[in-house]
Amino acid sequence: MHRIRRFIHKLQKKLDAWLTEERREYILIHKYHPRATLLFAVVAIIISSGVFIYGTWLRPPRSFPLHSFITIKEGGTLREAAQQLRDQGVIRSARLFTYAAKISGREQSVIAGEYFLRDPENSLSLMWRIATGDYGIEPEKLVIPEGSDVYDIAEQLAETYQTFDPIDFLSIAQPYEGYLFPDTYYVYPNLTAEEALNLFRSNFEKQIFDIADEIEEFGKPLDEVLIVASIVEREANKKADRETIAGIIWRRLEIGMPLQVDVTFRYINGKHTYNLTRADLLEDNPYNTYVNKGLPPTPIANPSLESILATVNPRETNYLFFLADRRYRTYFSETYEEHLRKKRLYVD
């Protein structure tokens, strides 16, 4: 709106320059003279035409591409830029866009680059942005929840940024499951798949560096720590349960007992505990920890720093079993019989 006022102000200045002191005085003295009446009519027509032009041709078209980018090429002329905007449905009239730039003294000011179109803009606003290099790109807040897997992240990025390619992201990010740190980020809306991957990985490396001594002292390889941490992240409903669950997982691994955790099925087929079938539990899949001993081949999610720390600082107990009720309360047991009893009491 401010730019529109500036444009109208320029028109007014040109009109003021035309209305010299002699003409103003003549109008005041001869305001009922036919020539004065004609002059007033001309001024009224100019103002009405300006309102009509803005309402019809300068306002944004219905086809205005929201939340998208336009690229103004290097070395292009004002006329070429205007025609490009017209062809892409950004403005209604290339001719009026060019004329508005000339009136504003900006006909030689075309700054190349990518311009972000967040909301509908009138031609005057766009003209001013292209003339001054106002790309309209500001970092936006992006929150990657703890325990998100690469599919969750790809879906979230695609929903947040219309130009983001989730397929491209999955093709390069899947090998790094568990190494994409969940956090709050501030990114530009033209984020590419490669930029997103590098952003999440670099943050992971920074966070891991801060606790590298604890991981090394624990004595397990980082990839195993991350696999267990991802299971802990998905299984623990409360932060207080993380170290206990981590202790159970490490203890089962030590005695050669299958982990029998349900959260890996979400990674296999998207199912949760309460809709698993017997066929699911018997499915031949490397992520099925009911039929396979040891750890799954990769992390099943991207764990938080708290879950990683809990994994390398497990609580030593005699527990071998745990379950959660529908209110997300966790119950621990030392024997299978005790586990079944609690299952009947709190789950069935």
Q: How far apart (Å, rounded) are the C-alpha atoms in residues 78 and 98?
A: 7
Average pLDDT over residues 248-264: 95
- What the block records as the tokens of 160 is 């947040």
Looking at per-residue pLDDT, the higher value among 3 and 159 belongs to: 159
Q: How far apart (Å, rounded) are the C-alpha atoms in residues 329 and 95?
A: 67
In the numeric block, the tokens 């041709």 are attached to 57
Helix and strand counts by DSSP (H, E) for the chain: 16, 6
- How much is the pLDDT for 211? 95
In the chain, the domains with their CATH numbers are: 1-136 (3.30.1490.480), 140-208 (3.30.1490), 220-346 (no CATH)
- How much is the pLDDT for 275? 73
- What the block records as the tokens of 32 is 């009922």
Average pLDDT over residues 226-242: 96
Give CA separation, 65 vs 86, 105, 280, 293, in Å: 12, 27, 46, 53
> Residue 126, Cβ neighbours under 10 Å: how many?
26
- How much is the pLDDT for 179? 98
pLDDT at 106 over 80: no
**Percent of the chain scored above 90 by pLDDT?**
47
Average pLDDT over residues 304-330: 94
Nearest CA among 125, 120, 88, 90 for reference residue 104: 125
Q: What is the DSSP letter of 175?
A: G
**In this structure, which amino acid lies at residue 100?**
A
Q: Give the DSSP per-residue string, 96-139.
A: HHHHHHHHTT-TT----EEEEE-S---HHHHHHHHHHT------
Compute the CA torsion angle 196, 285, 293, 147 (nearest 10 deg). 30
Comparing 69-78, 214-223, 324-333, which segment has the lowest mean pLDDT? 69-78
pLDDT at 30 over 70: no
Looking at per-residue pLDDT, the higher value among 106 and 266 belongs to: 266
Is 177:302 a contact under the CB 8 Å cutoff?
yes
> Residue 197, Cβ neighbours under 10 Å: how many?
19
pLDDT at 49 over 50: no
pLDDT at 4 over 60: no
